[in-house]
Amino acid sequence: MITEADIKELTLNEKLRVMEMLWGTMDKNPESAAIPSWHEDALKETEMRRQAGLEEPVDWDAAKQKLLNR
C-alpha cells in the first residue's frame, strides 16, 4: 500500500496522474461515493458565482494541461 510519505515524494505531475487514476476508479460505481455536505455547499456557491458572472468555466483538458505544465 502506498503511504503518505510515498505520495510526498511524487512530483506534481505524478500526483495529478495518481489523482486522475483514483477518480477514474471511483466513477465506475458513483453511488458508493457519498458527497459530503461541505462539498455540495461549495459547488452551489461556485454555481452562484458563475451565474453572477464572477466565475468563468474552464475546459477540464485545458485546466489539466495548465496544471501539468507547472
2-11, 29-38, 56-65: which range is least confident on average?
29-38
- How many domains in the chain? 1
6 within domain boundaries: yes
Host domain of residue 68: 1-18+39-70
> 33-44: per-residue pLDDT in tens?
678 899 999 999
54 φ/ψ angles, rounded to the nearest 5 degrees: -95, -10
The verdict on residue 32 lying in a domain is: no
Whether 13 is in a domain gets the answer: yes
Cell of residue 36, nine digits: 459530503
Residue 28 falls inside a structural domain: no
d(CA 54, CA 50): 5
| Model-wide pTM > 0.85 | no
CA distance 15 to 53: 32
| 60 occurs within a structural domain | yes
